[in-house]
Amino acid sequence: MIDADTVIARLREADARSGGRRLAWTETWANERARLDAIAEDASDAVMVERDAFANAWYVLPGETDETVLVGSHSDSVPDGGWLDGMLGVHAGLGVLAAVAAGGRTPKRTLAVVDWADEEGTRFGRSLLGSAAATGALTGEELDRLRAHDGTPAREVTAAYGFDANALGTRSGRLRSVVAAVELHIEQGPTLERTGREVAAVAGCLGVRRSRITFEGEPGHAGTIAMPDRHDPVRTAAAFVTELFALAEQEDGFATTGEIEAEPAFVTAVPQRCRISLDMRHADARALDRLSTSARKLLEAGRCPASVTELHRQDPVHFDAGLIDAAVQASDGGPPLTSGPLHDSASLALAGIRTVMLFTSSKSGVSHCRDEDTPEAHLRRGLLALHRLIVTLLEPART
Ligand SMILES: [Zn+2]
């Protein structure tokens, strides 16, 4: 059985050492990864520690066949991140690997634990960098557009950690043998806690449409232009956001405006322009399309003209139906969740690899901050569920 005490203790030690500052492509991150290497090597002499061409760490316990069951997540964090986001899935995977190795019998299928490089995208603004590179989804041209805040090219920063940009565009070697992939992660939202659940299967990730919208108005003095005569871009933007958010609520989706800028920005001016971001998410692609159409019509009907720059477009990700059933059985038997955030598992599912996730609850639904937490009892349930599911998958006759 998986040693949950050890896994949880390792997570707390890693957090104490790194203080939630395991930013990808830094020394702190590399040091934690060296510790992961040592833990994997300690698990069994049979374990192979490897880096693929894209700085992803692979810990492989060979089975009777090359068919591989992958369990992975990410050890990098956002600045001042929590102790569980990503790291839970990596240490959990190594805990499962140790338990399987300790069983003394070579599993039918090969087990690979993977620590994907740079899931968070903190340095270059591109999430899922390592997993997207491994599936062939990240191109050399896209990498060449990415730069750190200080202007250093991503190609240069990542090369120092063994990332080979010349290998981009093809699927990373070991990934070709993967027949099933599983990731244990914290929910990072309030649903499980609100419904009194500890661990659940995840059916997929929400689709995303993200854009920046600029409303062009006519500037003026706050005390001279009569309200009916104004072409106030803030007023048009506010009306747009209010109406669109109501539609998103009716559709049971999400709409978020996280950035609002007026220009010029001072208290006595009707601004000339107003720039906002818009992030819309939904589990159903048709609902996302309806919201996009509504947004376009609202913009066309607005008093101030608007221009739209698309930032990111991702259709909903659906995990494998058979694996979802297995994950439901291994967890609490309840209905599967849909993830609001994207995960490395989305990269794998989009590449046609059979994938599923498990979520444990998040206290108060918070993540990406030092307050991120999960009750230890829920973590234990999650670790047991992951172990149960992986053991099932290592026996092909039963999947
Ligand atoms: Zn994560």
pLDDT, mean of residues 288-306: 97
Q: What is the arithmetic mean of pLDDT over 362-385?
A: 96
pLDDT exceeds cutoff 70 at 56: yes
Give yes or no for residue 181 having a pLDDT over 60.
Answer: yes
Query: In the predicted model, is pLDDT for residue 398 greater than 60?
Result: no
344 Cα: distance to centroid of ligand 1 (angstroms): 8
For residue 211, the CA-to-ligand 1 centroid distance in Å is 23
pTM (predicted TM-score)? 0.88
Model confidence at 213: pLDDT above 90 = yes
User: pLDDT above 70 covers what percent of the chain?
Assistant: 99
Distance 156 CA to ligand 1 centre (A): 25
Helices (H), 125-185: 129-135, 140-145, 154-159
What is the mean predicted confidence (pLDDT) over 315-335?
97
Cα(307) to centroid(ligand 1), Å: 33
Interval 63-111: pLDDT, tens: 999 999 999 999 999 999 999 999 999 999 999 999 999 998 999 999 9
Average pLDDT in the 199-217 region? 95
In this prediction, residue 338 carries a pLDDT of 95
Mean of pLDDT values over 374-392: 97
pLDDT confidence tier of residue 399, bands split at 50, 70 and 90: very low
Q: Tell me how long the chain is.
A: 399
- Which of 360, 349, 393 is closest to 131 using CA atoms? 349
Q: Would you say residue 290 has pLDDT above 70?
A: yes
In sequence order, what are the residues at sequence separation of 6 or more whose Cβ sits closer than 8 angstroms to the Cβ of residue 282? 206, 207, 251, 252, 253, 254, 288, 291, 316
238, pLDDT greater than 60? yes
Is residue 54 scored above 90 in pLDDT?
yes
Average pLDDT, the chain: 95
Q: How far is the CA of 82 from the centre of ligand 1 (A)?
A: 10
CA of 119 to the centre of ligand 1 (A): 7
User: Distance from the CA of 267 to the center of ligand 1, in angstroms?
Assistant: 40
Please give the distance, rounded to the nearest whole angstrom, from the Cα atom of residue 362 to the centre of ligand 1: 12
Percent of all residues in the chain with a pLDDT value above 90, rounded to a whole number: 90
Q: Which pLDDT belongs to residue 297?
A: 98
Residues 6+ apart with CB under 8 A from 223: 268
Whether the CB-CB separation of 115 and 22 falls below 8 Å is answered with no
Which among 374, 2, 9 has a CA at the least distance from the CA of 197?
Answer: 374
**130 has pLDDT over 90:** yes
Distance from residue 194's CA to the centre of ligand 1 (Å): 21
